[in-house]
């Protein structure tokens, strides 16, 4: 621009000089001529110096050329590369480097995408981008032939926080009401798993019960890709409001805790099979359907078609895997010094489950059936506390993974931050709050700022 101004100055000076030389021309004509000449110079300059700017705009309009190929079943690396004109030698070199530099050996149909980039249409390919999964891509540099440098690029997750609230509609389930509230299905299933320890989604659901969920959404380049963790959940259950908050301990392990910082995940599930209907309750006395006379029903019966997988209600050791006339095929698990659970009438046992096997919560231990004294396929489930049969639906179950005093204090400030986030998003749902905004706890932040000031002095 400075250069342009100088040129205009020089050219204008030249015109003025030649105007002065027109000594014998009438004064008015001289003025008119000079003004016209100056205007002409300015006009020429405008045309000359605007040209490169226009070209720059044209280049933005014509970006690099992309050929995107989605991997379909039956595709191979060599098939895809040869359609783009790569020689067999090149294909071998690229495939070798993909394995060496990016640990990429197999294509996955429906997930992987190739993007062949050319500086301009018709020019040789300068770069291949392989998108393999939402958070990875591999770039292959084709400009320096024969090197085929591969670079694995991890796409940074931009994790934002979403808040949704809803209410159980009349005659509706939690699942449908949560869908209506706009909660993604994956998050609903996570909430199911979290609350299954606290409530029974078949029997404890009533119209008008309110719930809310605070959860993570992962974005890449301003586009939502998937969901992350549930951060907080609240449900107005029959037994009172259930609240859970996610907290990552100093050792890196995460867990869910109630508003007082007690472990929210119980050691046993009241209903091992999600959403199964109770066909017979626990009772001190009942008429036995097969024996005909009245005797105690020491467990709860859940309707379960033959072959329904039965998960362990909690982690523990298998102490019986056997058959008797009443229970048919049954498994008994000892969870701790206090609790045991028993699962009866199984059609078969799960592979690898025998006396002494350690099982984790949710691990399949067998399949429902109608063996023993049974009128139809169901799961008979018992909880035994200190050797006494208790009602699985009402027994007070212990919380596991409690926090020590120091962690409890940290949890409380985390809980306050999550609650604050809920109230911000409640009044302004479109506000973007990132998980990274929450990491520094206010108290800790002001302390570290103090430390920084000290350091500078």
Footprint on this chain of Zn ion (rule: CB under 5 A): 301, 380
- With CA atoms as reference, report the closest residue to 268 among 403, 402, 395, 404: 395
- With CA atoms as reference, report the closest residue to 118 among 63, 58, 77: 63
Residue 160 vs 380, nearer CB to Zn ion: 380
- With CA atoms as reference, report the closest residue to 314 among 242, 236, 401, 394: 401
Residue 68 vs 296, nearer CB to Zn ion: 296
What distances in angstroms separate CA 279 from CA 197, 276, 376, 415, 420, one per listed residue?
20, 9, 11, 39, 43
3-state DSSP call for residue 427? helix
Cβ of residue 307: shortest distance to Zn ion, in angstroms?
18
Cβ of residue 248: shortest distance to Zn ion, in angstroms?
41
Cβ of residue 303: shortest distance to Zn ion, in angstroms?
11
- With CA atoms as reference, report the closest residue to 384 among 308, 316, 323: 316
Q: In this chain, which residue has its C-beta nearest to Zn ion?
A: 380
Cα dihedral across residues 136, 142, 146, 147: positive or negative: negative
CA contacts within 13 A on the Cβ side of 355: 6
Burial class of 202 by CB neighbour count within 10 A (0 to 12, 13 to 18, 19+):
middle
Residue 305 vs 442, nearer CB to Zn ion: 305
Residue 218 vs 374, nearer CB to Zn ion: 374
Report d(CA 420, CA 432) in Å as an integer: 14
Cβ of residue 286: shortest distance to Zn ion, in angstroms?
9
Residue 50 vs 294, nearer CB to Zn ion: 294
Query: In the numeric block, which tokens belong to residue 320?
Result: 């019986």
Cβ of residue 380: shortest distance to Zn ion, in angstroms?
3
Residue 246 vs 378, nearer CB to Zn ion: 378
Cβ of residue 386: shortest distance to Zn ion, in angstroms?
21
Cβ of residue 315: shortest distance to Zn ion, in angstroms?
24
Residue 259 vs 373, nearer CB to Zn ion: 373
Query: In the numeric block, which tokens belong to residue 433?
Result: 């709050």
Residue 216 vs 301, nearer CB to Zn ion: 301
Spell out where 335-428 has E strands: 339-349, 358-359, 364-368, 378-385, 388-390
CA geometry: angle at 107 spanning 106 and 110, to 5°? Answer: 145
Q: Are 239 and 199 in contact (CB under 8 A)?
A: yes
Cβ of residue 309: shortest distance to Zn ion, in angstroms?
19
């Amino acid at each position: 621009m400075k250069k342009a101004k100088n040129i205009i100055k020089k050219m204008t000076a030249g015109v003025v000089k030649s105007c002065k030389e027109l000594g014998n021309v009438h004064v008015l004509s001289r003025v008119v001529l000079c003004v016209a000449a100056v205007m002409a110079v300015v006009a020429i300059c405008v045309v000359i110096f605007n040209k490169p700017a226009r070209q720059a705009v044209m280049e933005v309009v014509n970006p690099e050329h992309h050929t995107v190929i989605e991997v379909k079943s039956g595709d191979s690396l060599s098939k895809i590369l040869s359609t783009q004109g790569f020689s067999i030698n090149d294909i071998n070199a690229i495939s070798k480097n993909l394995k060496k530099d990016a640990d990429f050996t197999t294509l996955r149909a429906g997930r992987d995408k190739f993007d062949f980039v050319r500086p301009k249409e018709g020019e040789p390919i300068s770069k291949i981008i392989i998108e393999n999964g939402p958070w990875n891509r591999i770039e292959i540099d084709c400009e320096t032939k024969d090197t085929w440098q591969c670079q694995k690029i991890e796409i940074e997750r931009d994790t934002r926080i979403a808040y949704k609230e809803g209410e159980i509609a009349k005659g509706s389930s939690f699942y449908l009401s949560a869908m209506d509230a706009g909660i993604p299905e994956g998050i609903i299933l996570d909430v199911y798993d979290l609350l299954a320890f606290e409530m029974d989604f078949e029997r404890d659901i009533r119209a008008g019960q309110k719930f809310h969920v605070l959860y993570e959404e992962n974005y890449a380049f301003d586009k939502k890709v998937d969901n992350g963790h549930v951060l907080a959940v609240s449900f107005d259950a029959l037994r009172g409001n259930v609240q859970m908050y996610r907290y990552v301990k100093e050792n890196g392990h995460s867990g869910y805790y109630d508003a007082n910082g007690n472990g929210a995940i119980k050691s046993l599930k009241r209903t091992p099979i999600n959403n199964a209907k109770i066909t017979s309750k626990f009772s001190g006395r009942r008429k036995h359907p097969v024996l005909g006379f009245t005797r105690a029903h020491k467990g709860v019966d859940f309707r379960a078609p033959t072959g329904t997988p039965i998960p362990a209600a909690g982690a523990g050791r298998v102490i019986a895997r056997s058959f008797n006339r009443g229970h048919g095929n049954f498994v008994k698990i000892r969870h701790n010094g206090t609790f045991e659970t028993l699962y009866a009438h199984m059609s078969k046992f799960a592979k690898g489950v025998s006396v002494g096997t350690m099982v984790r919560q949710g691990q399949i231990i067998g399949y429902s059936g109608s063996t023993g004294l049974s009128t139809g396929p169901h799961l008979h489930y018992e909880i035994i506390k200190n050797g006494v049969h208790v009602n699985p639906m009402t027994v007070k179950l212990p919380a596991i993974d409690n926090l020590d005093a120091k962690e409890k204090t940290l949890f409380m400030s985390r809980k306050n931050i999550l609650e604050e986030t809920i109230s911000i998003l409640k009044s302004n749902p479109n506000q973007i709050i990132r998980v990274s905004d929450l990491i520094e706890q206010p108290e800790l932040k002001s302390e570290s700022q103090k430390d920084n000031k000290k350091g500078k002095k």
